[in-house]
Chain A
Amino acid sequence: MGLKHTTSFSQMVTHMARIDFFVRQRIVAFVVFVILCGLVYVSIVVTEYDVAKGFTSIPKAVRWSTENFYPDAASFKKINKIATRLSDTIITAVTATTCASLLAFFFAIIAATSTRPHWLFSLVSRAIASLFRNVDVSAWALILLFSFGQSTFTGYLALFFVTFGFMVRVLIETIDQVSGDSIEALRATGAGAGAVITQSVIPACLPQIVSWTLFMIETNIRSATLVGILTGTGIGYLFDIYYKSLNYHAASLVIVAIVLAVLAVEALSNTVRRMML
């Protein structure tokens, strides 16, 4: 009798614990929701944002775009100029990305847990990469503008820095995840550091290295436009000129050209990715 009582009591306790678990989850979800609502409200008050006006101005914006922001016959006369500037921008983005990725690979090798010579290298490499990554590309462009002036090189460097910072981080993770096991095996055979990298790390990580580089090329063609506006080079500068001279038709043609270029590069890199795997 006493035993039976104990059993049912302990069952009751487990039962309560189960209910408690779900109740607690709901409470946590509710609290998070309330906090988010609060954040939204505070930001609306601080920025003096008029919610109603924000939504009602959307149709107006659409109307303005359809009336002014489309390429007309006259703007197509500038297509050659746009094409030249666009190819400048694409080439800058591609060279900056590939060079940065190459350098990033060396920094990643000395930083990854499975390949680093000493943990100190890892610390320094990660710190450098973090510095380059956490300053935005537009900030880099403005900083570099002082030293290198309004030139393509300034844009190239800005893209290079950010890509470098990003790629170091990504490649460190890739090396540790993908090739850690085979690195251990090659070390055990007595292979030297160079052999471990060329025979194990590179073949194992190659698809990811190429994939991330292609991804950064796509991203950088988009960023290159913004960088161009700031540094007065490439397609971004052309857009800036047309836009400020109120030539909205030509400006819109620039946008269309950029979108087409990015789509083309995306399609191309997807093909390369498929072939790699």
Chain B
Amino acid sequence: MTILHVDNVRKTYGGNSYALDGVSFSVEKGEFVAIIGPSGAGKSTLLRCVNRLIFVTSGEVSVNGIAVTGLSNPSLRRLRRTIGMIFQHYNLVNRLTVLENVLHGRLGYKSTIAGTCGFYTASEKNRAYEILHAVGLHEHIYKRCDQLSGGQKQRVGIARALIQDPTLMLCDEPIASLDPSAAKIVMDTLRDINTRLGITVVANLHQVHVARDYATRIIGVNNGRVIYDGLPKDLTIDIIQKIYGSEAHDLILADGDTHGTH
């Protein structure tokens, strides 16, 4: 079953340069797709076109068979609540508690009044406790988010996405601001979500070896175009060089695993 279909998507911010230049691919249910590429390749833009945080200039994106571009506001809200999203900078309300931030994930299901007043049902609150237990944050439920470490903040972000009951999870550089051990916990959590809950994951990643370790499929993007779309094991050094261009050399030196296959 196709969860996400991206068809010839272009995005320009005015002028002749394209942030996305004719991107097409499909994601099946249960896949763990890693999108890799150098900074400024258009990875973040691509991800944001999926839930229409950014409008595409031309082309079409559909999620669960629903075309995103033409949606009215209420329909867009209904679609967005089935798509979880986590961010490089976690995007939490730092002055609120962990619990409150997790419950924000339910706002898409609320009427205007209930949402504006922040009314949550008892079952929603119980679910928040359960999820926080599952991601290992049960000791921090009533802490303000600005008291947490980066890895803990990202897990709050994951909990906020999970409480939406998403079918698709978008991850925009989820570990780019984390130290290696926190990054591993976050990536393991994402893999867990993917394999055990069957939630499809599409993640922008900076590190080739992380993408290889966790993804079931890798899409390489450069200059707004898809350069590679295939299995992690088929990602050769030549292709990496093509994806990263002049940045490839630094990348390979820093990555012992890739260097070994040379």
A residues with a Cβ closer than 8 A to B are 179, 181-182, 184-192, 194-195, 197-200, 203-204, 206-207
Contact = CB atoms under 8 A, between A and B. Distances in A.
B43 to A, nearest CB: 16
B93 A198 contact: no
B107 A189 contact: yes
Contact of A195 (B51, B53, B115, B160): B115
Given A181-B89, A185-B85, A185-B160, A191 B108 contact: yes
B112 A184 contact: no
Given A185-B85, A185-B160, A192 B95 contact: no
Interface string B135-161: 000000000000000000000010011
Given A179-B93, A204-B94, A188 B117 contact: no
Given A195-B116, A198-B118, A199-B93, A190 B107 contact: yes
A176 to B, nearest CB: 14
Given A198-B116, A199-B104, A188 B51 contact: yes
Contact of B108 (A179, A184, A190, A203): A190
Contact of B118 (A184, A185, A199): A199
Contact of A203 (B89, B96, B112, B115): B96
Interface of A: prevailing SS: helix
B249 interface: no
Contacts of B76: 190
Contacts of A182: 91-93
B226 interface: no
B47 to A, nearest CB: 10
Given A179-B93, A189-B108, A194 B87 contact: no
Contacts of A203: 93, 95-96
A185 B112 CA distance: 18
Nearest to B88: A181
Interface string B18-55: 00000000000000000000000000000000010100
Given A195-B110, A195-B118, A188 B92 contact: no
B105 A189 contact: yes
19 contacts: A181-B89, A181-B91, A182-B92, A184-B91, A185-B87, A189-B85, A189-B104, A190-B77, A190-B79, A190-B164, A191-B108, A195-B107, A195-B112, A195-B116, A195-B118, A198-B116, A199-B100, A199-B107, A199-B115
Nearest to A206: B95
Given A188-B83, A204-B95, A207-B95, 7 more contacts: A181-B91, A185-B92, A188-B51, A191-B77, A191-B104, A200-B104, A204-B94
B93 A200 contact: yes
Interface string B45-84: 0000001010000000000000000000000111111011
B112 A204 contact: no
Contact of B53 (A187, A191, A198): A187
Contact of B164 (A189, A194, A195, A197): A189
Nearest to B118: A199
Closest 7 A/B residue pairs (Cβ): A190-B108, A195-B115, A194-B116, A191-B107, A190-B80, A190-B81, A185-B91
Contact of A187 (B80, B118, B161): B80
A190 B77 CA distance: 4
Contacts of A189: 80-81, 84-85, 104-108, 160-161, 164
